[in-house]
Amino acid sequence: MTKKRNYSYKDVDMLTGLKIVAGNFSSKIGELSAVRSDWTEKYAAELVARINQTIETHLGIDTKKDLRDATSGVSSIQASARRDLSFFKTQIDDDFKAEPATRHEILNTLGFSKYLRVVQKGNQESLVQLLFAFKNNMSESLRPRITAKGLSDTLISNIIWICLN
């Protein structure tokens, strides 16, 4: 059975137009609900959802693909970042065990004291905060002090690189 269309445009054009109209309808629902009692926020949300579902079903457009791809990217970065940060902290603990005040100051300066516990529990926001604290506070004077003890400069560069990507 063929579908009868009451419009002369392509389906994608019509659905895109509908999505725009429904979005505007939804944003003005407070004013429009005075015109009809059945125009509610729930009705507007369901209308937008039906249009999105129609776009996905009939046009094959996956509107959540970008979100899934971004989440996947963050998850893969998160695992390597946590591993590198953990190794870095272990090395600092070992390299500066004879200088506890210096060790504490380095870990505090680089954000480990504030964020590490929550990062270990899998919190992405805290991981981002720790990475940026690390990148922003790894000064030109601190880096040589750390690498002089034997820690690889490449590890420090890898952690900073994660922040930039």
pLDDT of residue 50: 92
In contact, 110 and 164? CB cutoff 8 Å: no
The C-alpha atoms of residue 7 and residue 17 are separated, in whole angstroms, by 12
Q: How many C-beta atoms lie closer than 10 Å to residue 63's C-beta?
A: 11
pLDDT of residue 63: 61
pLDDT of residue 164: 67
Residue 151 vs residue 12, higher pLDDT? 151
pLDDT of residue 141: 93
pLDDT of residue 58: 76
- The string of pLDDT tens digits covering residues 74-133 is 777 888 889 999 999 999 999 999 999 999 999 999 999 999 999 888 888 899 899 999
Please compute the mean of the pLDDT values over residues 20-24 and round it to a whole number.
Answer: 89
* pTM > 0.85: no
- The string of pLDDT tens digits covering residues 41-71 is 999 999 999 988 888 877 776 667 777 777 7
Can you read off the two tokens belonging to residue 91? Answer: 């090395």
In contact, 131 and 162? CB cutoff 8 Å: yes
